[in-house]
Amino acid sequence: MDAESTVERFVTVDTYQFAVTLFLISEGAFFAFLIIAYVYFHGSMTSGPNASSSLNPLKTGIYSVFLLASSFTVSAAERKLSSGRRRAFSGWLLTTILLGAIFLVGQGREYFNLYRAGVTVSRNVFGTSFFTLTGFHGLHVLLGLLALCILFALAMRGDFQTGRSNAIRAVALYWHFVDWIWVVIFFIVYVWALF
Amino acid sequence: MSDVPYMPPMPATADHAGATVEHEKAGLLGWLATVDHKRIGILYLLTSLVFFGVGGIEALLMRIQLARPNNSFLSPGEYNQIFTMHGTTMIFLVAMPALTGMANYLVPLMIGAKDVAFPRLNAFSFWLLAFGGLFLYFSFIAGGAPAAGWFSYAPLSEQPYSSTTGVDYYAIGLFVLGMGSIAAAINLIVTIAGFRAVGLTIRRLPLFVWMVLVTQVLILLALPALNASLSMLLIDRLMNGHFFVSDSGGSALLWQHFFWAFGHPEVYIVVLPAFGMISEVIPVFSRKVIYGYEFVAASTVAIAVLSFLVWAHHMFAVGLGHSIDVVFAIGSMLIAVPTGVKIFNWIATMWGGSIRFTTSMLFATGFLVMFTIGGLSGISFAAFPIDWQVTDTYYLVAHLHYVLFGGTVFAIFAGVYYWFPKISGRMLSERLGKIHFWLMLVGFNMTFMVQHFMGLIGMPRRVFTYPDLPGWAALNMTSTIGAVIMGIAVAIFLWNLIVSFVAGEPAGNNPWDAWTLEWATTSPPPEHNFDLLPPIRSRRPLWDLAHPEDPDWKHGR
Amino acid sequence: MQTDSSLLRDSVLAQPISHLFLIVGIVMAAIFLLVTVLVVYVSFRYRDRAANQFPRQEFGRTSLEILWTVGPVVILVFIFAATIRAMKESDPEFSANQQPNLVIVAHQWWWEARYMDSGVTAANEIHLPVGKRLFVRLESADVIHDWWVPQLGRKMDAVPGHPNFLWLEADSPGFYPGTCAEYCGAEHAWMRIGVIAEAEPDFEHWAQRQLEVPSKLPSGGDAAQGAELFQQLTCGNCHTIAGTSAQGKIGPDLTHIGGRLTLAAGRFQNTPTNLALWLTDPQAVKPDSHMPNFQLTDPQVRQLTAYLETLQ
């Protein structure tokens, strides 16, 4: 299904990887604006909850470690696939999914606690900018998890025999993006809250 | 009108990666299910044409209302929805789709490829446009179209000031359109990067392809800014967020910064491909190679870079402070320089040539003067104390129409008359075309030249009526009559399209004696585009074939 | 003299801008002429002729490129210098703790003006003493508006949450028309400004009269009835008439409405007929304005009109 064309081409470009990279650049630009909005409003709060009073960087940090670890596990999965170790590949893929899911559960719990403390999107500009930024990120994690699950299901069905897959490469790149943009967001939202 | 002479056989190159190369189906289903870039390009162009008619009717309604002072043809609510939809339509549903359609159709042909890199993504991009456009227009029957202007300033665009769902339709519709544009941009960049025929180096790219490439990079970086802004606006409106509402800690100015971070690159997104079409048309009809190819290409990159640095020149009257005003004034003045470089190179191309004034060339020549007028009034804005008087007046409306209509639309007309034969296999009527051109030139200038003066004597923009002050009525009536003439010109254009499609003269492969690869195949091309490609050793493969005594590659180009 | 013109009779702060426009205009005209002459010339001179089917192919000349890159830059440097000068002269710097003489608050769709020195409150028609430069703070009560009186100088946005500052100075007496210049909703077109500049003694006289409270209610007839109606019909919830219990701040201050030149922010002339039209159905006169149709009867309209016209 992924047969590369063998017809002579002038320039060899890994089209799928290039396309996903371009897509991630556009996503980076999207997040940049959400981040700018958050930064703009940070510290302009005169009343109501803000980052310092509402957030728990330690707890979120722990959940973040799970997410970052999943970046390494998805790379491991790719390496196993290209060396033909399909069962190890599936194992690492599943691990990635589980680590990502743990992160989302942690985010969900954080959101729930904030909601109970009256920190919502409509509470004040902190609420609005915080939930928008972390919410869009969480949405991207969720979509990435869905993609990973589809890949896992295909792997279970016996796909990816050739050891090289554009789909895996694409999703893995996306997953790396989602993980490492979180590092940026984590520092701006949670670490900065400490000061 | 010679056909291309015999070419030595070469394998057709540049297939796209694998998978199911479906052959196009017949009939209507074929068009709806198409993944062929040529059909998708035509779908984009037809969509653009339909919305051009709609946006034009909106404009005529506005001009009828403004023909006389204190008029009551339209209520303020109706007028405000119409002017909002007119601007939104013309930018997002006419200019961008028309240029995307041209790019879609022409880029694979011009680089000797079979199709774009991702044909199904290409189709998906088109259907996002169709859906987004219909969704936006649905607002008219769902409680009211948006009425906050095409750039939707906060807090007017927020609750409770825009209390109908109009702005929600605007935000969601544009978000969908933005996704389509980004997907198309990715597709075109990968196509141009990876699917060029053997011999087609980056330095040999036709200028249209080059400018499309730069435009896609702009889209990739600017449309996300719009989507982020629209998301934040929707969160404010639908979830009681506070991004842009100052009463609750938000910032109205933040919306402006974010919007214009998109909005300024956007105007170059709709003008660079137009420059690209002009760069193809003028050389062919002057029978001369483009003058200063490298400088035209490099100035495109300069414009693209600068376009990200000038956004706040839309905010000179907002109170940012002199230091900030000065910074943006510098960038705004500088961006005129690479544009001027292009104008001079186009004129130099015509100089010493042998110019055939086909309708396409008439529009391209008209473009040179019209766009210059718009560019010059733009410089007056960059001298920002002038902006302090004339921004948000009809002087600005005049400026934007000279660059967007006298610029982009004239260039699109030039491109349509030039490439219609390739797309349809038939020539457009030159007789009707010339009537179209001259009526349009007269009507356009009559409509918009007077608007400079309307602004200078105090008429603000976006007003549904105006008091009977000296001179206002006469100038407005003149402008309205000009708009009617433009409408007649467009009607003639539509008629030309229809009769020529049905009964126009057969075009042959290369009716214009042009030089780029799209003219090396039939009109219209077969589904796979090329059976044979000529050898590519320069920017003008067909010129080299037709002029073996003086090929471009002998000049090192 | 009702001309709205940026080109005629500029006051002292508007003149530097007109001057800049003249300079830039000459440059623009010159470049336009150059380009147009070149285009027309090549179009005629190099028309397709049978003799010249294959013109010499010219790929470019770097020296020419440098000329038409550097040339415009030089012109722009010159324009930039003129720009800076005009900026300083038309919009003089002010210190951070400069106190405003006048606070203008933009509303949908009328202008409120508060004179800080005297305490006068006015709406839509703003008097200025000739020859005095006033420092203005510009605010908005709702959406973004824009203050623009072309003959007095630059326009400036009124942004909610972001007060702006500008100078106003009229250097000769007269009527200076202006308008809101930032689309602000349904009735943006009818948010006109009238600046009346008068010699300082006349201005002081006007200010004194503005501070006068209507001393007593009209004695009889329609006007007296109207005064009562005004209080009864909750007009005071939105409007202020000094010396009465009507102290609303949502709509324009009506204490001296009788003396204004226009009604509804320039919508039409202040005449009893027009005032009656307005009171009968504001929505018919200025659709979507924030004053609802109170379904007043004809006698009520007559009486209120009579009363308001006494408030000179």
Please report the ipTM that was assigned to this predicted complex.
Answer: 0.95
- B353 reaches C (C-beta below 8 A): yes
For residue A26, how far is the Cα from the chain centroid?
Answer: 15
- C58 reaches B (C-beta below 8 A): yes
B396: number of CA atoms within 13 Å, CB side? 20
Given a cut of 90, is residue A46 above it in pLDDT? no
- B249-288 pLDDT tens trace: 999 999 999 999 999 999 999 999 999 999 999 999 999 9
What are the φ and ψ backbone dihedral angles of B460, each rounded to 5 degrees?
A: -75, 170
Q: Which of C1, C5, C6 to mutate to test the interface with B (most CBs of B within 10 A)?
A: C6
C3: number of CA atoms within 13 Å, CB side? 12
Whole-angstrom distance, CA of residue B358 vs CA of residue B430: 7
Given a cut of 80, is residue C7 above it in pLDDT? no
Angle between helices B166-194 and B76-88 (to 10 degrees): 10
For residue B42, how far is the Cα from the chain centroid?
Answer: 15
* Residue in C with minimal Cα distance to B384: C83
* Residue in C with minimal Cα distance to B81: C186
Indicate the DSSP class of residue C258: G
Whole-angstrom distance, CA of residue C297 vs CA of residue B493: 56
- The strand pairing partners of C156, in sequence order, are C147
- Residue C8's pLDDT band (cuts 50, 70, 90): low
Name which of C179, C199, C178 is nearest C128 in CA terms.
C199
- Residue B2's pLDDT band (cuts 50, 70, 90): very low
What single-letter amino acid sits at B205?
L
* Residue in B with minimal Cα distance to C157: B318
CB contact under 8 Å between A30 and B193, yes or no, is no
What single-letter amino acid sits at C63?
S
CB contact under 8 Å between C155 and B337, yes or no, is no
Per-residue pLDDT at B22: 52
- Locate tokens 């009269």: which residue? C209
- Residue C213's pLDDT band (cuts 50, 70, 90): confident
Name which of B411, B552, B509, B520 is nearest B109 in CA terms.
B520
Q: Which member of B195, B228, B236 has the closest CB to residue A33?
A: B228
- The alpha-carbon gap from B248 to the nearest alpha carbon of chain A, in Å, equals 7
Provide CB contacts within 8 A for A190, sequence distance 6+. Answer: A51, A55, A57, A60, A61
* Residue in B with minimal Cα distance to C189: B463
- The strand pairing partners of C138, in sequence order, are C104, C164
**Any contact of B with C, at least 3 CB pairs below 8 A?**
yes
- Residue C312's pLDDT band (cuts 50, 70, 90): confident
- Three-state DSSP at B34 gives coil
Cα–Cα distances (Å) from B236 to A40, B146, B251, B549, in that order, read 16, 16, 12, 67
CB contact under 8 Å between B385 and C54, yes or no, is no
Q: Which member of B337, B355, B550 has the closest CB to residue C57?
A: B550
Q: Which of A34, A124, A128 to mutate to test the interface with B (most CBs of B within 10 A)?
A: A128
- Locate tokens 């100089």: which residue? B351
CB contact under 8 Å between A8 and B13, yes or no, is yes
Cα–Cα distances (Å) from B371 to A110, B88, B307, B400, in that order, read 55, 21, 17, 10
- The strand pairing partners of C178, in sequence order, are C193
Name which of B430, B153, B283 is nearest C188 in CA terms.
B153
Indicate the DSSP class of residue B550: S
Per-residue pLDDT at C52: 63
Whole-angstrom distance, CA of residue B339 vs CA of residue C172: 43
Burial B424-451 (b: 16+ CB within 10 A, else e): bbbbbbbebbebbbebbbebbbbbbebb
- Long-range contacts, A107-115 (Cβ 8 Å, 24+): A107/A60, A107/A63, A107/A134, A107/A138, A107/A141, A110/A56, A110/A59, A110/A60, A110/A63, A114/A54
Q: What is the 3-state secondary structure (H, E, C) of B425-470?
A: CECCCHHHHHHHHHHHHHHHHHHHHHHHHHHHCCCECCCCCCCCCC
Q: Are B530 and B38 in contact (CB under 8 A)?
A: no
Least confident of B265-279, B374-388, B414-428, C221-235: C221-235
- C21-78 pLDDT tens trace: 999 999 999 999 999 999 999 999 999 877 667 899 999 999 999 999 999 999 999 9
Provide CB contacts within 8 A for B532, sequence distance 6+. Answer: B7, B9, B10, B12, B520
CB contact under 8 Å between B243 and A125, yes or no, is yes
Tell me the H-state helices in chain C: 15-45, 62-90, 200-211, 221-232, 272-280, 282-285, 298-310
Rounded to two decimals, the pTM is 0.95
- The alpha-carbon gap from B422 to the nearest alpha carbon of chain A, in Å, equals 25
- Locate tokens 């602000």: which residue? C184
What are the φ and ψ backbone dihedral angles of B555, each rounded to 5 degrees?
A: -90, 5
What are the φ and ψ backbone dihedral angles of B309, each rounded to 5 degrees?
A: -110, 5
- The strand pairing partners of C158, in sequence order, are C145
Cβ neighbours of A2 in B, within 8 Å: 18-19
> Mean of the pLDDT values across residues C157-163?
97
- Residue C6's pLDDT band (cuts 50, 70, 90): very low
Q: Which member of A23, A32, A37 has the closest CB to residue B243?
A: A37
* Bridge pairing between strands C164-168 and C134-140: antiparallel
CB contact under 8 Å between B149 and C144, yes or no, is no
Given a cut of 90, is residue A129 above it in pLDDT? yes
CB contact under 8 Å between B240 and A122, yes or no, is yes
- The alpha-carbon gap from C164 to the nearest alpha carbon of chain B, in Å, equals 6
CB contact under 8 Å between B19 and A8, yes or no, is no
- Residue B6's pLDDT band (cuts 50, 70, 90): very low
CB contact under 8 Å between A7 and B15, yes or no, is yes
CB contact under 8 Å between B460 and C76, yes or no, is no
Q: Which member of B156, B458, B472 has the closest CB to residue C150?
A: B458
Provide CB contacts within 8 A for C291, sequence distance 6+. Answer: C238, C251, C282, C283
What percent of chain B has pLDDT above 90?
94
CB contact under 8 Å between B117 and A19, yes or no, is yes
Given a cut of 50, is residue C107 above it in pLDDT? yes
For residue B27, how far is the Cα from the chain centroid?
Answer: 30
* Bridge pairing between strands C156-158 and C145-148: antiparallel
Tokens of B449: 């030249």
> Mean of the pLDDT values across residues B117-128?
97
Whole-angstrom distance, CA of residue B148 vs CA of residue B462: 10
Cβ neighbours of A27 in B, within 8 Å: 224
* Residue in A with minimal Cα distance to B216: A22
Tokens of B68: 């006389």
Region for C263 from its dihedrals, namely left if φ exceeds 0, alpha if ψ lies in -120 to 50, beta otherwise: beta
For the beta carbon of residue B548, count every other beta carbon within 10 angstroms: 8
Cis peptide bond upstream of B524, omega within 30:
yes
Whole-angstrom distance, CA of residue B358 vs CA of residue B433: 9
Name which of B285, B261, B449 is nearest B365 in CA terms.
B285
Per-residue pLDDT at C51: 64
Cα–Cα distances (Å) from C305 to B282, C227, C269, C274, in that order, read 68, 10, 14, 9
CB contact under 8 Å between A7 and B11, yes or no, is yes
- B251 reaches C (C-beta below 8 A): yes
Question: Which strands sit side by side in the sheet containing C102-107, from one edge to the other?
Answer: C121-123, C110-115, C102-107, C134-140, C164-168
CB contact under 8 Å between B249 and A136, yes or no, is no
**Any contact of A with C, at least 3 CB pairs below 8 A?**
no
Whole-angstrom distance, CA of residue B104 vs CA of residue C281: 55
